[in-house]
Amino acid sequence: MNAKRCDATVAWAALQGHYQAHGRDLDLREAFARDPQRFNAFALQAPEVFADLSKNRWDLLTRKLLIELARETGLEARRDAMFAGEPINTTEGRAVLHTALRAPRGQALFSDEVHGVLDRLFDFAEAVRDTGSSGIRHVVNIGIGGSDLGPQMVVPALDAYAHPGITMHFVSNVDGHDITPVLRKLKPAQTLFIIASKTFTTQETMANAAVARQWFLDQGGTDIGRHFVGATTNLTAAAEFGIHTTFGFWDWVGGRYSLWSAVGLAIAIAVGSERFSELLAGAHAMDRHFADAPLEANLPVQLGLLDVWYRNFHHFTSRSVAPYHQGLKRLPAYLQQLEMESNGKQVSLDGQSLPYGTSPVVWGEPGTNGQHAYFQMLHQGTEVIPVEFIAVKHPSHPHLDLHAKALANCLAQSQALMLGKTTEAALAERAPTASATLGKLTVARHRSFPGNRPSTTLLLDKLTPRALGALIAMYEHRVFTSGAVWGINSFDQWGVELGKALAGNLLPRLTAAEVDGSGLDASTAGLLARLKA
Ligand code: F6P
């Protein structure tokens, strides 16, 4: 691939000039006043997802230069290499083929393997869903990171399609406060445990699985082979644990890209194989869009490039996600792993330190809860934080009055962030709750909003399995885009290793009879001593 590092491209230099001349001071209110077509110019329809990108601090030239940046940094070649199964995860020598997991039969690499597992997984899920025969009323997914966040996000999002007689539980944390209240609700004969772990070695998951197995036996459970199943690439370790039913996947599926694989078993049980297939079909439609749409009309590409513009030129360090659909309550947590584990990197593909920022902090809560917590800071704080609103046109509940209120709030927040309120406008208003002893101008200054705060609004027609699949795939490819422009490996996660190794060293010191702080830094030794006192 004949790609240049982003900061060595012609487009990067042009973007720097453009930022100084126009970008930094672009005022959204003026931009809309100047161009009545601005909404249309920055509207994009991708499969299942409509995006309004017009309330962002960019103009047509910014977008053109960003697309040139994508071309100069070899985004298209890198994308094609991913779909072709080249080992683009260079530090682990692996292909990156989560797109193959959702391709129709015969249309992607490894199709026979993928559909072989899917067929078995669907048969199994349907058998569990036949609660009259299976007797299963509770399903517990034990996994962490990518083996937890995907199913844990999708299951509530598709609650409208969920099996009414099966309760889904998720246990991830090695802290026993996670599994203990879950076990309290269960009876062995009615429970299926899914041990989801790509490696089947992750400390948290193995520890919780062992607790679950012991609980099962202690409560008189008789058939571990029937009540524990595995979703893993490590079939040998699963067998050693006592699991006979395993659904495999492959090293070319990254943990945070694995909900489409056997790791999605909890989803397939919750919503059924037909709905799971629709989830895959939605993701596949977005894959085709990402692969085929010109960069100018390519939604994941546009979003990824906007992230680069904000991170490296505006120097915004975070992005807030505000889904106005309670079903998407775990989406911000899911996106944290997807984006920050993928793009939280400090060296280029060839190991050189990078002089520019990479992954922003991604965070958020569902609207309207976030409004009553941290939106104050988004509106009047000193940092500019781009916000991503997600609105769904048709609800999956009958309370249309509530739905209208949720949508009104969603639109109002992006409007308020952009429009702001001048001190003059605040002065002209009555402020009945303001202190009478403070000067009017002082009160007005407290009550004014700078505005010009950027946001994107994503619209779905309905939160169907297909739409959700497309939305998640859109995020995956957006992360791919910014990672490709930054020239980093978005598919490894060495940053989690050091803490794991140090915990391995500390664990015996915590369980030993004597305090042993030898060789530790003074802070860790002091904390250890207090914990053991
Ligand atoms: O947090 C590191 C990580 O390797 C993630 O990438 C992964 O999703 C998670 O741990 C769980 O790993 P496993 O599925 O192997 O248990």
Question: Is the pLDDT confidence value at 436 over 60?
Answer: yes
202 pocket-lining for ligand 1 (C-beta < 6 Å):
yes
Average confidence (pLDDT) over 372-385: 98
Could you give the 3-state DSSP secondary structure of residue 521? coil
Tokens of 322: 């505000």
Question: Is the pLDDT confidence value at 159 over 90?
Answer: yes
493 pocket-lining for ligand 1 (C-beta < 6 Å):
yes
User: Nearest 5°: phi and psi at 503?
Assistant: -65, -35
As a whole number of angstroms, the distance between CA 248 and CA 116 comes to 10
pLDDT grade, residue 30 (50/70/90)? very high
Query: Any catalytic annotation for residue 500?
Result: yes
Cα of 144 vs centre of ligand 1, distance in Å, is 6
Q: Which DSSP state fits 170?
A: E
Tokens of 92: 């682990």
423 pocket-lining for ligand 1 (C-beta < 6 Å):
no
Which strands, in side-by-side order, build the sheet including 455-462?
43-46, 49-52, 455-462, 387-394, 318-323, 361-364
Query: Any catalytic annotation for residue 372?
Result: yes
303, 474 contact by CB (below 8 A): yes
- Measured CA distances, 230 to 147, 205, 207, 280 (Å): 11, 11, 15, 21
267, 259 contact by CB (below 8 A): yes
Condensed to tens digits (0 to 9), the pLDDT of residues 448-469 reads: 999 999 999 999 999 999 999 9
- Measured CA distances, 192 to 120, 162, 186, 303 (Å): 17, 17, 10, 40
Question: Is the pLDDT confidence value at 366 over 60?
Answer: yes
Average confidence (pLDDT) over 478-491: 98
Cα of 207 vs centre of ligand 1, distance in Å, is 14
What is the pTM assigned to this prediction?
A: 0.97
How many residues appear in the chain?
A: 533
With 0-12 / 13-18 / 19 or more C-beta atoms within 10 angstroms meaning exposed / middle / buried, residue 107 is exposed
As a whole number of angstroms, the distance between CA 288 and CA 321 comes to 25
Helix 299-312 / helix 60-72 crossing angle, nearest 10 deg: 100
Cα of 147 vs centre of ligand 1, distance in Å, is 7
147 pocket-lining for ligand 1 (C-beta < 6 Å):
yes
Tokens of 476: 């995956």
Residue 272 is predicted with a pLDDT of 98
Residue 3 is predicted with a pLDDT of 81
Closest ligand 1 atom to residue 199 Cα is 15
141 pocket-lining for ligand 1 (C-beta < 6 Å):
no
235, 248 contact by CB (below 8 A): yes
Could you give the 3-state DSSP secondary structure of residue 471? helix
145 pocket-lining for ligand 1 (C-beta < 6 Å):
yes
448 pocket-lining for ligand 1 (C-beta < 6 Å):
no
Residue 459 is predicted with a pLDDT of 98
Question: Is the pLDDT confidence value at 2 over 80?
Answer: no
Condensed to tens digits (0 to 9), the pLDDT of residues 215-273 reads: 999 999 999 999 999 999 999 999 999 999 999 999 999 999 999 999 999 999 999 99
Average confidence (pLDDT) over 433-442: 94
Catalytic residue among 185, 187, 244, 372: 372
Question: Is the pLDDT confidence value at 56 over 60?
Answer: yes
Q: Which residue has the tokens 């003059």?
A: 424
Give, using CA atoms, the residue closest to atom 10 of ligand 1: 145
Cα of 255 vs centre of ligand 1, distance in Å, is 6
Question: Is the pLDDT confidence value at 23 over 90?
Answer: yes
HSE (CB half, 13 Å, CA atoms) of 214?
8
Q: Phi-psi region for residue 135, left (φ > 0), alpha (ψ -120 to 50) or beta?
A: left
490 pocket-lining for ligand 1 (C-beta < 6 Å):
no
3-state secondary structure string across 109-139: CCHHHHHHHHHHHHHHHHHHHCHHHHCCCEE
Cα of 231 vs centre of ligand 1, distance in Å, is 13
As a whole number of angstroms, the distance between CA 149 and CA 256 comes to 8
Tokens of 313: 């030129």
As a whole number of angstroms, the distance between CA 497 and CA 502 comes to 9
Could you give the 3-state DSSP secondary structure of residue 153? helix
Tokens of 399: 């309370």
By most ligand atoms within 8 Å of CB, the mutation choice from 149, 174, 202 for ligand 1 is: 202
By most ligand atoms within 8 Å of CB, the mutation choice from 496, 497, 498, 500 for ligand 1 is: 496
Question: Is the pLDDT confidence value at 405 over 80?
Answer: yes
pLDDT grade, residue 427 (50/70/90)? very high
CB atoms within 10 A of CB 210: 12
Cα of 143 vs centre of ligand 1, distance in Å, is 8
Distance of CA 503 to the CA centre of its chain: 26
Question: Is the pLDDT confidence value at 1 over 80?
Answer: no
